[in-house]
Amino acid sequence: MIEQTFLEKAKAYLELCYLELNKEDLLEARLLAVQNLIIETGTYELLDFELEYGTKVAWRNSNKCIGRLFWRSMEVLDKRSLETADQVFAALFEHIDFATNGGNIRSTITVFNPSNKIRLWNPQLLGFAGYLSEDGSIIGDSKNLEFTQKCIELGWEPKIGQFDILPLVVKIGEDAPVLKEIPKEIVCLVQLEHPSIEAFKSVNLQWYSTPIISNMTLEIGGIEFLSAPFNGWYMGTEIGARNLADEDRYNLLPTVAKLMGLDIRDKNSLWKDRALVELNQSVLYSFRKAAVKIIDHHSASKQFMQFMRQEAKEGRDVTADWAWIVPPTSGSTTKVFHTEMQNSVVSPNYFYQENPWD
Ligand code: ARG
């Protein structure tokens, strides 16, 4: 594919946006204005409604996301006027609080101005620290080892617990990165228990309510927003079948199997599979009990199939990454497993970025 120029990207998005929003009558004048701006200043700014719609279409185009049925319902916090680290921290706290909404999670994105050179160092606004002990073992979330180390270098006091909420780190332009603890009152943690296995409680497992990705670039019409944290609500398996279960994450299946009384030496006993089911049930049960919005993978799969039908009806092709859409447990019991998918990348979208400290 030939690389599109900035101007071509701007045009392509504006055409899509104005067409889908029935604003064709305004398109020609807007294209001309944007073209002139790009020629004169090298860039342009999105109008409020162009930004808002772009964040939603970027979600619609996110091939790895099973939750896209609700793409129109993104809440957009437009923070493009903010400049200082203190303002940014306040906006991030606002995002955590607004999105968490006392458990009734709202899909939300906060957009900062790319020209203000704001970088967020957290991979997610909420996350657990990971520490490497002297003996090589890991305490906490191994996913965050490197970022935790950065926080410590910046003066954060490590707590060496399994579930320590990391501080926020913000860097503006050439200034040194600044670190701030998240106020406890806005962090919602769910303690895991199991509807029938009493011993579950005693392991003291927990997870946070709201997954707010803060290390991806939002691209709309050629403009790249490097700082645009966004969130949905959890699908249970993200926590129960990956974060807490992966061997290179919390690796808790042996622990769970043992408290279920399973023989973990016999592969034929399917102890991993059984432990997985109970761990996932405990995640769904505990979130529901705590009144924190969460979805199970069967309902999510159904919703994704509805999204595919809905898009077809509107005359659009759905692009999707099968390996990500199919849930990590019980794949073949879900409709998405038996569905062919086209994994090509379209714009607007959310893209991976390099670690900001590299
Ligand atoms: N898988 C990531 C996690 O476990 C979160 C990714 C976004 N998930 C979502 N439901 N919107 O933290």
Percent of the chain's residues with pLDDT above 70? 99
Can you tell me which atom of ligand 1 is nearest the CA of 231? 11
Calpha distance 52→92 (Å, rounded): 18
Residue 268 pLDDT: 81
Instruction: Choose the residue to mutate in 238, 250, 321, 352 for probing ligand 1, maximizing ligand atoms within 8 Å of C-beta.
Output: 238
Rg of the Cα atoms in the chain:
22
Query: What digits encode the pLDDT tens for the residues 83-141?
Result: 999 999 999 999 999 999 999 999 999 999 999 999 999 999 999 999 999 999 999 99
Res 1 pLDDT > 60: no
Respond yes or no: is residue 238 known to be catalytic.
yes
**Which helix (H) or strand (E) is 237 found in, with range?**
helix 236-237
95 Cα–ligand 1 center, Å = 16
- All residues at 6 or more sequence positions from 198 whose CB lies less than 8 Å from its CB, including other chains: none
Please check the confidence at residue 3 and state whether its pLDDT lies above 90: no
| pLDDT interval class at 266 (50, 70, 90) | confident
Q: Active-site residue 157, yes or no?
A: no
Q: Which of 186, 293, 304, 298 is nearest to 233 (CA)?
A: 293
Nearest CA to ligand 1 atom 10: 234
Pocket of ligand 1 (CB under 6 A): 211, 213, 232, 234-235, 238, 243
User: Is 17 designated active site?
Assistant: no
**269: pLDDT confidence band, cut at 50, 70 and 90?**
confident
Q: Are 187 and 212 in contact (CB under 8 A)?
A: no
- How far apart are the CA of 234 and the centre of ligand 1, in A? 6
pLDDT at position 184, please? 98
Residues 6+ apart with CB under 8 A from 263: 269, 271
- Closest residue CA from atom 11 of ligand 1: 232
Confidence of residue 290 (pLDDT cuts 50, 70, 90): very high
Are the C-beta atoms of 125 and 99 separated by less than 8 Å?
no
